[in-house]
Structures are given as C-alpha cells and as structure tokens.
Amino acid sequence: MAFGERIKALRKEKSWTQEELSQQIGGDARQISRYENGKFLPSADVIIKIAQVFDVSIDYLLLDGTPRRPLSIKDDILSEKYPEIENLSEEDKSSLLHIIDALVTKYKIKKIASGM
C-alpha cells in the first residue's frame, strides 16, 4: 500500500475529513488531498506529525509490507531489553517468543472469562 493510501485508510479509521486531519498536523486539506492522491510526499517534519497523530511507526507509513506498530513503545522495561535479546541464540529467541505468546494467550483468556 502506498503512502497516500495508508494515510487515507488511517484517516478513515478515525472518521476524519481531510480538513480535520490537516488541523491535527497544522496543514491544509488541499495538501492532505495531494498526499493521499500520491501527487506529493510530505516533508520529514510532516511525516513525523502524521505518525504522532495516528500513533503509528514511520516505517509503517513509508514502507510496503511493514507491520503496523505504535510510534513508540510505552513499556520502557521491555524495550531496554531488546539489545540483550538480539544477542541470544535462535533457539533461545524462539523459546522467548513461545513464553510471550503463552502469556498473551493467558491474558486474552482471562479477559474473555471476566466478560471484558
């Protein structure tokens, strides 16, 4: 999906008009239309504002095939461990992923069981 299409999809998720998005990032609706139609790519500053408004990573906005992620990770404890995790063997990384998947599944089951 191209940058403009992605912006349009994100805007529609929020049920915003181009004018409303332009107000969020300090631009104008005509410029949003140009971005969405692929006529122009915004400056780096505007791309950062768009990422902040939608809370998505910049690589998600710019690169095809990139999974949607928040702009910043809110749990600093986990993000601080990332460099250490990179040094683990593939077997240990796989084990860690299984543990994380199990904990996420446990959370989801508790959420469903409590009727949330």
pLDDT digits (tens, 9 = 90+) for 25-80: 998 899 999 999 999 999 999 999 999 999 999 999 999 888 888 887 676 777 77
**Residue extents of the structural domains in the chain:** 3-62, 76-113
CB atoms within 10 A of CB 16: 17
Residue partners of 92: CB distance under 8 A and separation at least 6: none
**E strand or H helix at 107, and its extent?**
helix 90-113
Q: Find the range with the poorest average confidence among 22-31, 77-86, 100-109.
A: 77-86
Q: What is the pLDDT of residue 39?
A: 92
For residues 36 and 29, give the distance between their C-alpha atoms in angstroms, rounded to a whole number.
10
Task: Determine if the pTM surpasses 0.85.
Answer: no
Q: CATH number of 3-62: 3.30.420.40, 1.10.260.40, 1.10.3210.10, 2.60.40.1230?
A: 1.10.260.40
Residue 17: pLDDT over 80: yes
**Crossing angle for the helix pair 18-25 and 3-13, to the nearest 10 degrees:** 100
